[in-house]
Structure 1
Amino acid sequence: MKLKATLLALSAVLLAGMVQAQDGWNWPADPAQEAKARELNAAYTDYMKSEQFVDATHPLNWLLVNVPELNESIYINGVNIYKGAADEVTDAAKKGVYQDSVIAIYEKRGELFNNESNWIENKAYYGYQFYKSDKDKLKGAIADFEKAMELNGTINYQLTAAYFDLIYRNYAYNKAYTGEEILAIHDNIQAMLDAEAAKGTDVTNQKGTLEQLMVAMELIDCDFIENTMGAKLKADPTNEVLADQIFKYSVQYKCFSSSAFLQALEIKHAKEPSFSTSQVIAMRYMQEDQSEKAEDMWNQAFTLAENPTQKSDAKMELAKIYAKQGKKSAARAAAKEAAELDNTKTSDVYSLIGGMYMNSFNDCKGGESRAKDYSIYIAAYNAYQRAGDSQGMANARARFPSREELFTEGLQVGGTINTGCWIGETVTLATRD
């Protein structure tokens, strides 16, 4: 075993020698300089392997200053060494110098080897770690993240939270962005996470952090949703991601009266129709006096209902719409259907019907028989009675025909008469006196 270990160690030494002899090593032409460079290269490597990072910085610094084009490895290793040194020391000033050196090494590497796309993300993340609390230096880390996206089209999904945290801090420290700019950055990151999620990756934590930071910026309120996000959705009504965001924020901040919320809800409903979405859309249409649209949406709600109570709700709302449109027969039929589906609505249903009867006098009076004309109030009384509406009953009774009016027409209390008109009910005659 000892011999095997010795052979392995010897192989490692030989391999190291071979690596240094290969192309890419630019040893100084001067023999003395070459000897010193080889000595210090070996020295810093030994210190690095034994994790003596502060000690490793001294020979490495000579190489970086005097033979900067020696080999890319001094920059690759240099990052680890200066980061290790920064972690090793407790003095804040020294720690800052070592951290700055990490960034400087990356910048020099970029000048000499022109391969930033391979490591720019790492530089950006070190910048985040080092400078996130420095209102001036954090801008460099942001620029590096943006350079990474420029070069590679994206960044590692695990770094998205760090990047947006820098955006949050830059906004908090420097008021560096408008709300629209932050939303654009947010949307870009969201798209990256969605692309990663499509591969099967769990990005729940990253998305959660993104939303927490967005909320912490206190940019979002009803005005922002309507005028900023809503304007963007109007310009691109196919943007389902934005529609989902508007819907979510509108619910979170209780911004239900905005046109942006309505448009987002319409998009959401078109994609995933449900009773709840059709219900809310229909209610919004009614608020805006768009009764035909509301009628169509409540009909959709009825077909999408998951239980009799929801079906009853839809029919009751349709009854109200029909009543408002003057479609009284249709309103009554829909209301009665609502009561059949859910008997807890019986009171509301018959109060609605009683109200329609009461408001039909001018439409139904023939002018030939006061008993017949006023019989609709008896029908209204009966409806209110079924509803348990004592106030409605009293109002209706006050409009009954008088005994004298019945006598004049040869009629008497207890007899029957048909109201005619759309009401079409046969009622038992009664008087107000």
Structure 2
Amino acid sequence: MRVLTFLLLTVFTVGLTYAQDTPSEHAINEKLVMAGDNMHFGYYEKALPSIHWLLQNAPKASSSVYSMAFKALEETAGKVEDTTKKNVLLDSLIIAFRLKEKHFGLTDIEKNKLAFRYFDYFLNNKEKVAEAYPLFHELFESPDEVINNNLVAFMYITNKYHELVKPLPTAEILANYELASRQIASRYFSKNLKLYETYSKYADDQVFKTLNVNEHCQAIKQIATHMTAPDSVYLAKKIVSLTLDSKCGKSEHYLKALNILSRSEPSPGLHKILAQYAAAEGNYALATTHYVKAIELEPVADKRAAIYLSLAEIYFLNNDKTKARASALEAVAADPGQTSVAYSFIGNLYLSSYNDCAERHDRVQDKAVYLVAYDAFEKAGDKKGMEEAAKRFPTREEAFENNLFDGDQIDVDCWIQLSTKLRTRVSN
């Protein structure tokens, strides 16, 4: 190994800086065969002298030499215990990549491999981090070519560059974070939620560290200051994710992020959340708009029915009982399984309508709202509601005074516009 270390130091750090006499084709082929045979049988350390000779004397002979160099150097480094020797081997590995780049260029996969080796072996090396940082940027210029293990590595390199090389402006840190988050989301959000959450957590931790914030609320404020474009989708996703994972509570940044996402990547869930927040603030018109959009986007019948019921409650809060009932009936049409809930809701609409509908000159007619309420509760199978409505039926005396009897048809006007049959109760 002492000879090997000497070879590495001289060949890779000195020997390649000056020109050599062109060797014969026979000598080149002989070294290629020797290196290839040793590589074939897994004798990586034995292959290194031939590989070094080729790189020093015939660096343009064959691109396959570099593939052998990558493999032999990394495999040998993995078996070396001495730290100094290991570092020499790994330094040589980086130089081999750079030589390949100089003479043949690097494929996208090779660029990814080189980037990951900077991250894997040299994360605390100032010189190497300075080399790695622009390489990662180059990779992310063609995001389809970024391999998975570099998605999070980019944020680690960003952090180390910020710490070891020179401080980065916040805008650049967040731009890198958005690039990484964009790739993590596009690859895993809809395909493997567990990996998405794992990778996102690593990226989040690193951006917190780089921004020198120690908790979610500070990070949300920092990130939100750069969420200026109407299509800042990935920063918006991060703010939503961080808010949900924290105890920061609803903020203007969170609502702004939700609105960006509702425009850029609309979904029933987003519009439901926005509707709930609007309703909590008493903005029933906006809540209605969001619930209607959620219904339009929701393809699943039972989920759509649940949104109809939420919309019915908003109409009720806004004192529009006609639309509230219509929305509850739409819920039943979408999912008959909601019949009980919907008709209990409608029964309560009728129960609450006495003051809306009573004209105060015919007590039987005024109390007819309780008759239709009973009908709705009965359809819902809501015994408690039925009992409550029955307590308010017209009395027999009131019916008698109007020459009416149990079973007679009663028309209920006002907003209800239904017919029912008269039922009476004994006077208290």
TM-score bracket relative to the smaller structure: 0.5 to 0.7
Q: Give the partner amino acid of 2:132.
A: F
- Indicate how the Cα distance of structure 1 residues 215 and 192 shifts in structure 2: closer, same or farther if over 3 A, else same: closer
Which of 81, 98, 120 does residue 88 from structure 2 map onto?
Answer: 98
Q: How does 1:51-90 map to 2 (within 5 A)?
A: 83=73, 87=77, 90=80
**CA offset at residue 348 of structure 1?**
1.8
Q: Give the partner amino acid of 2:85.
A: K
Q: 1:153-212 CA distances to partner (integer Å, 9 max, x unpaired)?
A: 85894578358437538969x9889998765433234668999x9xxxx9x99x998974
Contact 1:416-1:429 within 8 A present in 2 as well: no
- Indicate how the Cα distance of structure 1 residues 396 and 194 shifts in structure 2: closer, same or farther if over 3 A, else same: closer
CA-atom RMSD in angstroms = 5.6
- Indicate how the Cα distance of structure 1 residues 420 and 323 shifts in structure 2: closer, same or farther if over 3 A, else same: same
Please state whether the residue corresponding to 1:232 is helix, strand or coil. Answer: coil
Which of 163, 176, 185 does residue 185 from structure 1 map onto?
Answer: 176
**Distance in structure 2 (CA, Å) of the matches to 1:262 and 1:228:** 15
Q: What is residue 378 of structure 2 aligned with on the other side?
A: 385
- Indicate how the Cα distance of structure 1 residues 329 and 358 shifts in structure 2: closer, same or farther if over 3 A, else same: same
Q: 1:93-149 CA distances to partner (integer Å, 9 max, x unpaired)?
A: 44156248649979xx99xxxx89x799687665445434xxx42x33221112446
Contact 1:285-1:294 within 8 A present in 2 as well: yes
**CA offset at residue 278 of structure 1?**
4.1
1:431 aligned onto 2:425: yes
- Indicate how the Cα distance of structure 1 residues 126 and 425 shifts in structure 2: closer, same or farther if over 3 A, else same: closer
Contact 1:378-1:396 within 8 A present in 2 as well: yes
- Indicate how the Cα distance of structure 1 residues 225 and 351 shifts in structure 2: closer, same or farther if over 3 A, else same: farther
**Distance in structure 2 (CA, Å) of the matches to 1:360 and 1:209:** 53
Q: 1:274-315 CA distances to partner (integer Å, 9 max, x unpaired)?
A: 555544543443344332122223333444443554554444
Which of 271, 275, 279 does residue 286 from structure 1 map onto?
Answer: 279
Rg larger in structure:
1
Q: What is residue 146 of structure 1 aligned with on the other side?
A: 133
**Distance in structure 2 (CA, Å) of the matches to 1:431 and 1:96:** 95
Give me the TM-score of the superposition, normalised by structure 2.
0.61
Please state whether the residue corresponding to 2:367 is helix, strand or coil. Answer: helix
Q: Which blocks of at least 5 consecutive residues in structure 2 are unaligned?
A: 1-16, 39-44, 209-214
1:327 aligned onto 2:320: yes
Contact 1:274-1:301 within 8 A present in 2 as well: yes
- Indicate how the Cα distance of structure 1 residues 97 and 318 shifts in structure 2: closer, same or farther if over 3 A, else same: closer
**CA offset at residue 384 of structure 1?**
2.0
Structure 1 window deviating more from structure 2 (289-298 vs 83-92): it is 83-92
Contact 1:365-1:373 within 8 A present in 2 as well: yes
How many equivalent pairs are there? 372
**Distance in structure 2 (CA, Å) of the matches to 1:294 and 1:398:** 35
Q: What is residue 212 of structure 2 aligned with on the other side?
A: none
Give me the TM-score of the superposition, normalised by structure 1.
0.61
